[in-house]
Amino acid sequence: MDSIMETRNLTISFGGHLAVDSVNLSVPKNHFKSIIGPNGAGKTTLFNLLSGQLTPTRGEIIYKGENITNLSSIKRTRKGIGRSFQITNVFPNLTVLENVRLAVQSQAGIRYQMLRHFQKYKELESKSEEWLETVMLAGKKATLAKNLAHGEKRKLEIAMLLALNTEVLLLDEPTAGMSLEEVPAILDVIKRIKEKGNRTILLIEHKMDMILDLSDSVMVLYNGRLLADGTPEEIMKNETVQSAYLGGHFDERSSSTT
C-alpha cells in the first residue's frame, strides 16, 4: 500500500535529550493511525515535526514522495497537512460560519474585499455550510466562536481544517479538556470523517476505547523511540507494550514533550 507520509530516522534533541529518536513511520493513504504512549514519550513533539513547528536534528519527512523536511508549517498546510492542537485555535470574535468561510477563502485563494458584501460570496457560504454540516455545527453558524462550548470549538477547528482541503489530519488529543458528555459528539465527527474514506488521519489520544474503535493501526512511542506499530489487536497483545504499560516502566515526565 502506497504511503502518503513517512519519516526516515526522524530525530530531534533538546539540550542533549532525545525527544524523538530515530523514528521510522509509514502511513498509507486514507489510513487511520493512532499514536499512544505516556507523558514524555514524544507524541506531540512528533506532531510538531510532521507539521513544521519544529525542524528535526536529523532525519527526513516525506509527503507524497516529496522531501518536506525543511518546509515551513504554512507551506505544509498548503500542500495538504492540517494540524489541530491541544488548545483550540479559532477566531473567538467571529461567527462559526465566518471562521469556516475564512478557511474556504484561503483554500480558494480569494482575498476578502471590504467593500464587497459577504453575501456576494454565495459559493463560499454554501461550501462553508457543508463543512459545518459535516461536524454537526450547522445550527450554530451565527454564534460567535467565543460563545461555543469547549467541545463545539473542537468541532469548529476540525471544520476549518477540512475546509482547507487537507489530505492528512494531525489530531492532537481532540477530546482534551472535554466533559464526559462532550466526548461522544467529537467521536461521531471523527467517525464521519473516517467513513468518507478520503482523508489520512493521525490521532494522539489517551482514551483506549476510542483508539481501538477508530484505528486501522496503532504505534507506541516510549522515551522518544518507536516501541511497536501494528493493528489494534496486535498492539493489545504485544508483550513489550504490556510490560511497559502494566509494569509501570513508562517515564511519566512533564507533558511538555508528550
CA-wise closest residue to 140 among 98, 176, 108, 82:
98
pTM listed for this prediction = 0.87
State mean pLDDT over 103-125.
68
- In the predicted model, is pLDDT for residue 226 greater than 50? yes
Return the CATH number of the domain spanning residue range 1-79+200-249.
Answer: 3.40.50.300
DSSP 8-state class, residue 144: B
Q: Residue 16: pLDDT band by 50, 70, 90 thresholds? A: confident
Q: Residue written as cell 467529537?
A: 186
Q: Which residue has the higher pLDDT, 144 or 255?
A: 144
- In the predicted model, is pLDDT for residue 91 greater than 80? yes
CA–CA separation, 149 and 42 (whole Å): 29
Q: How far apart are the first and last CA of the chain?
A: 29
- Over residues 163-206, the pLDDT tens digits come to 999 999 999 999 988 888 999 999 999 999 999 999 999 999 98
Q: In CATH terms, are 1-79+200-249 and 81-165 the same topology?
A: yes
- In the predicted model, is pLDDT for residue 118 greater than 70? no
Query: What CATH class does 81-165 carry?
Result: alpha beta
C-alpha cell at 188: 461521531
Buried b (16+ CB within 10 A) or exposed e, 150-164: ebbbbbbbbbbbbbb
Range scoring the smallest mean pLDDT among 32-41, 63-72, 119-128, 169-178? 119-128
- In the predicted model, is pLDDT for residue 258 greater than 90? no
- In the predicted model, is pLDDT for residue 2 greater than 90? no
State mean pLDDT over 38-52.
93
CA–CA separation, 123 and 72 (whole Å): 30
Domain boundaries, the chain: 1-79+200-249, 81-165
Question: Is residue 85 helix, strand or coil?
Answer: coil
pLDDT of residue 83: 92
Q: Residue 246: pLDDT band by 50, 70, 90 thresholds? A: low
| CB neighbours of residue 206 within 10 Å | 15
